[in-house]
């Protein structure tokens, strides 16, 4: 789905994102933007870091870009955990101009959906944590090296949904529980 210029001023018309992620983002975009602008003014914040896991990662991705485009003076960083593919290759290319870190874990299926065959692509900036808790920087979009998410999990049949929960980081941070 194409992006509205009111929320993404100046974004190229070739950029498309998943309609479900976009509609979820749009439902809170105005309130979040108003709150962030007020907090930045109140606390003289120099950096705004937008963080999310899973669907929250997709929304953080959209929110970070929208915040920066609507307020270019903001220094925006985007950090996501187990984020799905949000948009097309033009979206991935566009995101490469941002400070983005995508943390993925082992055989998590979420970072490989929606599929590339459907026209979706992950941007650069992946840090993949393997089963030995080794952190690998994966350069490029949808890196197919086996030490990166797309290479480690080439399809959902080779995945483990439990890996979506973590652990993320050396202290073993878990997102949610196996009972969610």
Residue 18 is among the residues annotated as catalytic for this protein: no
CA gap 53, 29 in Å, rounded: 17
Which entry of 54, 66, 149, 159 is annotated as an active-site residue? 54
Dig out the tokens for 85 from the structure.
């593919």
Closest CA to 165 of 107, 115, 87: 107
Our measurement of the distance from residue 18's CA atom to the centroid of its chain's CA atoms, rounded to an integer in Å, reads: 13
CA gap 171, 129 in Å, rounded: 13
Residue 108 is among the residues annotated as catalytic for this protein: yes
CA gap 159, 156 in Å, rounded: 5
Which entry of 18, 105, 128, 164 is annotated as an active-site residue? 164
Which entry of 18, 66, 105, 108 is annotated as an active-site residue? 108
Residue 158 is among the residues annotated as catalytic for this protein: no
Q: Catalytic residues, which ones?
A: 54, 108, 164
């Amino acid at each position: 789905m194409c992006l509205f210029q009111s929320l993404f001023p100046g974004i190229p018309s070739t950029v498309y994102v998943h309609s479900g992620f976009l509609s979820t983002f749009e439902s809170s975009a105005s309130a979040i933007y108003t709150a962030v602008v007020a907090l930045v003014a109140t606390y003289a914040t120099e950096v705004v870091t937008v963080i999310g896991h899973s669907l929250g990662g997709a929304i953080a991705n959209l929110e970070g870009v929208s915040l920066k485009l609507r307020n270019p003076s903001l220094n925006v960083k985007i950090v996501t955990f187990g984020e799905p593919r949000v948009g097309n290759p033009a979206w991935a290319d566009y995101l490469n101009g941002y400070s983005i870190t995508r943390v993925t874990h082992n055989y998590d299926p979420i970072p490989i959906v929606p599929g590339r065959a459907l026209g979706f692509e992950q941007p650069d900036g992946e840090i993949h944590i393997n089963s030995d808790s080794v952190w690998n920087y994966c350069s490029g979009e949808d890196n197919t090296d086996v030490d990166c998410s797309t290479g480690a999990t080439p399809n959902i049949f080779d995945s483990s949904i439990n890996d979506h929960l973590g652990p993320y980081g050396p202290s073993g941070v878990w997102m949610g529980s196996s009972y969610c």
